[in-house]
Amino acid sequence: MSGQSKDKSGGTGLTAGRRDFLKAMTGASALAATAVVASQPAEAQAPASGRESRDERRKARYQPNAADVQNFYRTNRY
């Protein structure tokens, strides 16, 4: 061999070092992704003015006699 010592698993020290480096980088990227997600609460994603009142949440949204709904069914008849 070229002077490189073998580690416990039978690989060279260079291979073990590369493996340790990749493990560290994987852990660091997972930690960074967690920090980004945790830094912004779910409420920050939706604007405050976009909140619906209780009555708006309960109202009927589908209107079968609306012009666009009638047009959809008219053009998609088979």
Per-residue tokens: 17: 């070092």
Q: Please state the domain count of the chain.
A: 1
**Is 53 inside any structural domain?**
no
Residue type, 24: A
**Is 76 inside any structural domain?**
no
Of the pLDDT bands very low, low, confident and very high (cuts 50, 70, 90), residue 39 is: confident
What's the mean pLDDT when you consider all of the chain?
Answer: 77
**Is 34 inside any structural domain?**
yes
CA distances from 20 to 16, 24, 28, 37, 55 (A): 6, 6, 12, 26, 57
For 51-61, the pLDDT digits (tens) are 888 888 888 88
What pTM was estimated for this model as a whole? 0.34
Q: Which region, left, alpha or beta, applies to residue 6 given φ > 0 means left and ψ of -120 to 50 means alpha?
A: beta
Q: How far apart are CA 78 and CA 68, in angstroms?
A: 18
Residue 67 has pLDDT above 90, yes or no: yes
Query: Would you say how long the chain is, in residues?
Result: 78
**Is 30 inside any structural domain?**
yes
Between 69 and 50, residue with greater pLDDT:
69
**Is 27 inside any structural domain?**
yes
Look up the domain containing 20 and give its range: 7-39
